[in-house]
Amino acid sequence: MSLKTYFSFSALLVIFLLETIFPHFKGRKNRVPHGAYNICLSLLNSLLFAFFFSVVTLNVMQWSLNRHIGLIYHFSLPEPLELIIVFIMFDMWMYFWHRINHRVSLFWLFHRVHHTDREMDVTTANRFHPIEIMFSSLIRLPVFVFIGMSAAQFVLYEIVLILVIQIHHSNIALPEKVDRIFRVLLVTPSMHRVHHSVEWSETNSNFASIFSFWDRIWRTFRYRKNTLTIRYGLKILQEKKWQNLMGMLLTPFKNFSFKIYVLK
């Protein structure tokens, strides 16, 4: 088991326990089956793509390093400062990639699997369609080269990303004062709950992954005072059949179109 996998699974168990003790939305039933479907989808993604794309990513990064191709190689910076800059640049890419998934219909058909979860919790952080993982893994390869991101920097980014996204997808009842302090810099549960709202204008907001300031910079930040009034999911695909493993795999092909256009 890799360090990233061990960390991800350990964090998930701890946060799932905290959701049980301090739930934001109370009285949820079938939490274990619900979480099991999301985790099974994540395991399927790992089996299908993790090894292959890990090898490809490492080879691309090594190729970039050997030739000193990448923006960061043009500056002689101390390692800590280099890490911070690379971290911020890649997180900005993640923000724009998330927006692209909401704007381009072909990508949205697969990304909406993540948004059909009607009871978002920590396991929703693992709910992504295999083809979305494939798109993401391929499209970010030239981003690694452009930035000059090393394998060690990427592993560190992913460890931090896993922790942050598991927390902000969680059903933990975080006090508003605490949430407000943390969301100055980081994406918090209160902020990300708005993104998973059934209301389309809210779904298309709060795209940031780690650093919350991207949404303020690019004017996509949206706030809701009482997040207990949020209803999760989409206005379509509400039936129970779309919540199990087979339903999630088939969701993109409901009204599927190969035409690529920008969603309004």
> Residue 135: what are its φ and ψ, rounded to 5°?
-55, -50
Q: 127: exposed, middle or buried (C-beta count within 10 Å: 0-12, 13-18, 19+)?
A: buried
Contact 107, 135 (CB under 8 A): yes
DSSP bridge pairs for 104: 262
Is the pTM for the entire model greater than 0.85? yes
Long-range contacts of 31-37 (CB under 8 A, 24+ apart): 31/119, 31/121, 34/119, 34/121, 34/123, 34/243, 35/121, 35/122, 35/123, 37/243, 37/244, 37/245, 37/248
264 residues of the chain, pLDDT tens digit each: 567 778 888 999 999 999 999 999 999 989 999 999 999 999 999 888 777 888 899 999 999 989 889 999 888 889 999 999 999 999 999 999 999 999 999 999 999 999 999 999 999 999 999 999 999 999 999 999 999 999 999 999 999 999 999 999 999 999 999 999 999 999 999 999 999 999 999 999 999 999 999 999 999 999 999 999 999 999 999 899 999 999 999 999 987 554 444 444
Query: What does the radius of gyration of the chain's CA atoms come to, in whole angstroms?
Result: 18
What torsion do the CA atoms of 127, 132, 136, 138 make, to the nearest 10 degrees? 140
Amino acid at 119: E
The label of the residue with tokens 């900005």 reads: 92
